[in-house]
Amino acid sequence: MTRPVPWIPSVLYGAVLLGGLYYAAIGPGPGVRSAGFAGLLCALTVLDAREWPVASGALFAPGAVFAPGAVFALRAVLLGAVAALDPSGLSRVLFVLLPFLAFFVWGRTVSVVLGAGCVAALAGVFTVRVPHWEVRAEYISDLLMFALGVVLAIAMAAVAVREQQARARLEGTLAQVAELSAARERNRLARDIHDSLGHHLTAIGIQLEKAEAFASLDAAGSAQAVAHARWSANRALDEVRASVRTLGPEAESGPAGLGRPLTDLVHHLDGGSGRITLEVSGTERRPLLVLYRAAQEGLTNACRHSGATQIRVDVAYEEQGAVLRVADNGGGLGTAEEGFGLAGLRERLRLAGGSVELRSSATGTVLTVRVPW
């Protein structure tokens, strides 16, 4: 595991180096031991300044990598050498780094055991070197302060590891959020393509089929169907350009009012046949694009698949919201499953806080959509 706080060892090495050199300057004076003391601290600083890959390899070979245990053992040996060359005794504080760094490699248990071992080792050194140290206040104080330093080092390592894990979880959560946002945007674009471009292409197909069927029987009706197809093509091009310009939320990007767009929609799908009727009641408070998309979906399905001879569109602007009903006298859905258009419409209504109800029988289909203000 990468250490979250790599600067702590370097700070301790620098403080001990300055303290040791100051002690040498005011005491025995600089010498070979002081030079070795400073050199070993510099070596420790270099050792802890780089990342050591966790793998096996030939020691000191070009491009070699080292196992954590080997690096840790080398650090412990260097710390022992520093302590041996330090007449001031300040370097014993560096041994708190052993449980601190062990926490990042082997975890809490090994760190606690190693910390207890360091405290016991210091007590053993006092026993060997200082007779009756256990009754001398300065050595008792040193041992207690060292034990406190070990505890604080382990606690700091635990906090650093938890913070690193929390950051990793946060990064994972943010990645999931970004993925979900991208998926939601893809679904939104797919709905837009189906509901706008798909609808107009369907309308163009219907009008061109009509123009072909009436080409030799009714030249005027055929020309009118071609004109309606051209209108649908222009309308599709306008909507594609609008989508490319905005690529933003669809909630309120609709026209200033839906009365005229709905009338145009019915007129161009009906083609003057009188098969489709539109009835609007109440006062529109604000345009609801989802209502227009629902009308597109319902009318396209009724015209394309139902075989209906009569299609009625009712829009009621009520106190709590708007209600759209598209009813036809066609053959119903039968055993056919709902397509992408209806699935996309349900998703639109869910995001808008509305509802969709579809009832189908052999005598016709009724699509009812409710949208709150």
DSSP 113-132: HHHHHHHHHHHHHHHHHSTT
Structure tokens at 305: 């698949």
Structure tokens at 311: 């299609």
In degrees rounded to 5, what are phi and psi of residue 356? -130, 135
Please write the tens of the pLDDT for every residue from 279-321.
Answer: 888 888 877 778 888 888 888 788 777 778 889 999 998 888 8
Structure tokens at 249: 């939320």
What are the structural domains, with CATH classification, of the chain? 7-175 (no CATH), 258-373 (3.30.565.10)
Per-residue confidence (pLDDT) for residue 155, from 0 to 100: 92
Per-residue confidence (pLDDT) for residue 25, from 0 to 100: 80
Q: Is 74 exposed, middle or buried (0-12, 13-18, 19+ CB in 10 A)?
A: middle
Per-residue confidence (pLDDT) for residue 180, from 0 to 100: 78
Per-residue confidence (pLDDT) for residue 337, from 0 to 100: 65
Which residues of the chain are under the pLDDT cut of 70? 1-4, 28-30, 50-67, 181-182, 185, 188-189, 191-196, 199, 238-256, 271, 334-340
- C-alpha 366: how far from its chain's center? 40
Q: For the chain, how far is it from start to end, CA to CA, in angstroms?
A: 54
Per-residue confidence (pLDDT) for residue 145, from 0 to 100: 92
Sign of the alpha-carbon torsion through 250, 251, 253, 254 = positive
Rounded Cα–Cα distance for residues 178 and 170 (Å): 12
Q: Where are the alpha helices (DSSP H) in 193-338?
A: 199-213, 219-246, 259-270, 289-301
SS3 372: strand
Sign of the alpha-carbon torsion through 41, 46, 50, 55 = negative
Rounded Cα–Cα distance for residues 156 and 151 (Å): 9
- C-alpha 188: how far from its chain's center? 18
Residue among 370, 262, 282 nearest 325 (CA): 370
Per-residue confidence (pLDDT) for residue 332, from 0 to 100: 75
SS3 315: strand
Per-residue confidence (pLDDT) for residue 60, from 0 to 100: 40
User: Given the structure tokens 């975890």, which residue do they identify?
Assistant: 107
Report the 10 Å Cβ neighbour count for 338.
Answer: 12
Per-residue confidence (pLDDT) for residue 147, from 0 to 100: 93
